[in-house]
Amino acid sequence: MKKIFLFFSLLLVCCSKPQSERNPYLHEVRFSFSINMNLPAYNQLKNPLIPIYIGNAGVGIQGVYVMNTGGNNYVAWEASCPNHQVKSCEKMQLKDGFYVVCPCDDNLYSLVNGNIVKQGENAQKPYPLLNYRVVASGTTLNVYN
């Protein structure tokens, strides 16, 4: 009986899901925002690798960057710097096409995959950009969390 209990205990420990490392600086916000790509403000989303910033109230924490990555694939990223408290740092700025840079530590991130491309001099262990869900339906995009 002890062997069976030990076996199942070991099995339970070995099969446990690894803990994901949650970004302590950015809190989860719930929102939903529809984008009509026929409108002039969002028309460039029909073309790949041309990001736009959406700063409407209630969309993300400090806004969202949305981009077409090719075909009918879209990504949306939080505009807040992922390695700083929201109140202590302004939103990230577009740089060189499809990159964003954090004004507080000069970390450079790709809007294609959300990963850091270049780490600033005084930056600590960088978190990737916070990703939001995007569902495409015809010429309408729904960005939500």
The span from the CA of 85 to the CA of 76, in Å, is 20
Please identify which residue in the block is written with the tokens 């490392």.
21
Q: Is residue 80 part of a domain?
A: yes
pLDDT score of 15 = 53
The span from the CA of 132 to the CA of 60, in Å, is 9
- pLDDT band (50, 70, 90) for residue 123: low
Average pLDDT, the chain: 88
Q: Is residue 12 part of a domain?
A: no
Highest mean pLDDT among 4-13, 33-42, 86-95, 123-132 belongs to: 33-42
pLDDT digits (tens, 9 = 90+) for 48-89: 999 999 999 999 999 999 999 998 999 999 999 999 889 888
- Give the whole-number percent of the chain exceeding pLDDT 70: 85
Mean pLDDT of 87-101: 92
Q: Is residue 4 part of a domain?
A: no
Containing structural domain, residue 123: 23-144
Q: Is residue 3 part of a domain?
A: no
pLDDT score of 1 = 60
Q: What is the CATH classification number for the domain harbouring 101? A: 2.102.10.10
pLDDT above 70 for 9: no
The span from the CA of 41 to the CA of 19, in Å, is 40
Measuring CA to CA, how many Å separate 134 from each of 97, 115, 127? Answer: 20, 18, 21
DSSP 4: H
pLDDT score of 17 = 47
